[in-house]
Structure 1
Amino acid sequence: MTPPDCPEMPAVRRIIVTGCDHAYFELVAELIASIRNHTDTTIAVIDCGMTAGQRALLHARGVRVLAPHIPDYAPRRALAKRPCLAINISKLWLDQMLPDFDLILWLDADTWVQDGQALERMFAAAARQTLAIVPEIGAKLANLLGVRWICPGWMQIRSFLYKNATRARLPFAIRKRIGARPLLNAGVFCLHRQAPIWPVLRKWQAQILPRRHMAFTQDQLCIALAVYIDGLPVTFLDNSHNYLGPWLLDERTGTLANLFFPHAPVGIVHMASQKAMRSRLENTLTIPTVQGGTAAVNLRYGGMRALSGRGG
């Protein structure tokens, strides 16, 4: 029995959030299945165009369905053409959309969970009200920084952050400070509802979002500005917590492995830029294996389960 002078601490309320329209529902269903394979943490889906039947399926699985949050300054014409852009906008309002939860973990619809410990580490990293996120400085084989060589000794920065800060018409002093910094990938991040970064993210969103062609990329740019310009606290996790490749299969376990030795299993798989595989389980990619061979795989949760003989 707890002594009167030592009251029990209230349990930390956690939630995992994603979002989709009707076209991405199959991916979200696989994401939910992969989460449920590891934890019973509450799940919510932001609805930006699901069908009534799809919403009913989520309700039947105990998943919350949320309406997106669209601020007054959002570009209405862009949203009318692509309603799913409201998902990226809503990411920066999750603390207000979910007042009943303390820790909020965002996972893009094209991610899935291979190792449940990655979820626990994301929550733990955000517990002290810092932004828990993965910088893109991991196992990439491509150039870490996009540049265009003009002549020997002269080059032009072509990084994601520099290009998008330029498109947002931010001052050169800001572009210079963030242009060579690693992208903080907004496909996977975790924040405490009381983290000080939330209003700063929205400050930048209000400045950037009304500008042309910024709705799709504004979330990652706002996060970078809040961290690199305003100095809000951040906790970096390694690339296994938001793994974008290069892809490597461990044939012994039937799991996707990190390119870095000793090739531990990837925690959270992110299929960004894998449009063909996202659309159909039959589409595959030939990747190397830890054992020295090659294998044709579909990187989706359903594809990997079929490969390991556990069904779709």
Structure 2
Amino acid sequence: MGLDAGQREWLSPRVTHLVRPGWDVDFPRRERMPESFKAQVARPFLPRHFPGYETYLWIDADAWLQQWRAVDIYVAAAGRDRLAITPEIDRAYKRHYKRPKLLGMTLAWKNYRHAFGWRIADRLGRNPMVNCGAFALHREAPHWQAWSRVMTAVLQRTQFFFVEQTALNYVIFAERLPVNFLPAYCNWAPGDAAPAFDPERRLFVEPYAPYEPIGIMHLAGRDQKERVFRLQQLGGGAVETSLRYSDSRALCGIDAEPAMAASRVKPGSSRRDAAGGN
């Protein structure tokens, strides 16, 4: 989704499958939804679009991979029957140090209310939001069917940006399907806490000891994609940089991306930004 013909041509020989999803679910007012909404609705149907694989690992197009070990962690944590996924919780995240929302009306609570009503919002809204921008799930895990069922039911009533994530959170906390919650460095949200930078290892790391390397950097939200971050460096000093993939490669001393230059991708479009940064 979001790639022009030239970008699809560049990508095609570098991947096994290149799929443009249609609408996997019929729901009211579908014709009014943006084309990008198909990518959200398609998420519970990945085995349908990419059949024949053992485990499915999803990483959002606004996230990029710094260390391959994050992939290994996700796949191992998923096993055959668990959802491997990262909640939006960390000791560094600023949201945990703010004054509580009036009546507990967090974004998670509002999403539950929008999707399921007040009663379920009051019951589940106190739980942390689990971010489906990165997850791993075995093809035979029961979550696929449960996720698609819940999301389809919600879409008959309402359509909103976080619909697939809210449906998955419902499956986790209301239907209690098995899950492995991973640490925040497996899906780091710099909008909640800027990482630190280790100039010796040339890696982005957690801002607090023991300074675990960030596995996946997730620039969720338009502001994070355009923002210049001021990062504390281990050993002293600070550095200012964008955390977009191309700028991060430059800071880490990695050669520029060879073919699909950033200038060829329009701002706000979707593409696969991933690199093994071992």
For normalisation by structure 2, the TM-score amounts to 0.84
Is residue 117 of structure 1 aligned with residue 61 of structure 2? no
> Percent identity over the alignment?
29
Give the 3 Å change call, closer, same or farther, for CA 277–140 of structure 1 in structure 2.
Answer: closer
Distance 1:221 1:300, change over 3 A: same
Residue 41 of structure 1 corresponds to none
Mapping of 1:160-175 within 5 angstroms? 160-168=107-115, 170-175=116-121
Counterpart of 1:60 in structure 2 is 13
What stretches of structure 2 of length at least 5 have no aligned partner?
257-278
Greater mean alpha carbon deviation, residues 182-191 or residues 68-77: 68-77
CA distance in 2, matches of 1:201, 1:62: 27
Matched, 1:105 2:57: yes
* Contact residue 143 and residue 171 of structure 2 kept, 8 A: yes
**Helix, strand or coil at the partner of 1:224:** helix
User: How much does 1:144 deviate?
Assistant: 6.7
Q: What's 2:272 paired with?
A: none
Paired with 1:231 and 1:145, the residues of 2 have a C-alpha distance of 29
Call closer, same or farther: CA 1:52–1:262 in 2, change over 3 Å.
Answer: same
| Backbone CA RMSD of aligned residues | 2.0
Distance in structure 1 (CA, Å) of the matches to 2:101 and 2:85: 28
CA distance in 1 between counterparts of 2:218 and 2:99 reads 21
Residue among 178, 181, 200 paired with 2:146: 200
Deviation at 1:177, TM superposition (A): 1.9
> Structure 1 residues 97, 140: closer, same or farther in 2, change over 3 A?
same
Number of positions where the alignment pairs a residue of Structure 1 with one of Structure 2: 251
Q: For each residue in 1:56-92, what CA deviation from the matched residue of structure 2 results, as whole angstroms up to 9, or x when unmatched?
A: 111122352112141112642332xx20111111011
Instruction: Answer 1 or 2: which has greater helix percent.
Output: 2
In the other structure, the counterpart of 1:72 is 26
Inter-partner Cα distance in structure 2 for 1:93 and 1:286:
39
State the alpha-carbon separation in 2 of the partners of residues 264 and 171 from structure 1: 39
Whether the 8 Å contact between 2:17 and 2:50 is mirrored in structure 1 is no
The residue that corresponds to 2:180 in the other structure is 235
Structure 1 or 2: more strand by fraction: 1
TM-score by length of structure 1 reads 0.75
Segments of structure 1 that go 5 or more residues without pairing to the other structure are: 1-19, 22-49, 150-155
Q: Structure 2 vs 1, CA of residues 74 and 250 (structure 1 numbering), >3 Å: closer, same or farther?
A: farther
User: How far has the Cα of 1:100 moved from its partner?
Assistant: 0.8
Name 1:286's counterpart in structure 2: 230
**Contact 2:80 2:140 (8 Å CA) reproduced:** no
Within 5 Å, which residues of 2 pair with 1:271-310?
A: 271-273=219-221, 275=222, 278=225, 284-310=228-254
User: What amino acid is the match of 1:83?
Assistant: E
SS at 1:207 equivalent: helix
Structure showing greater radius of gyration is: 1
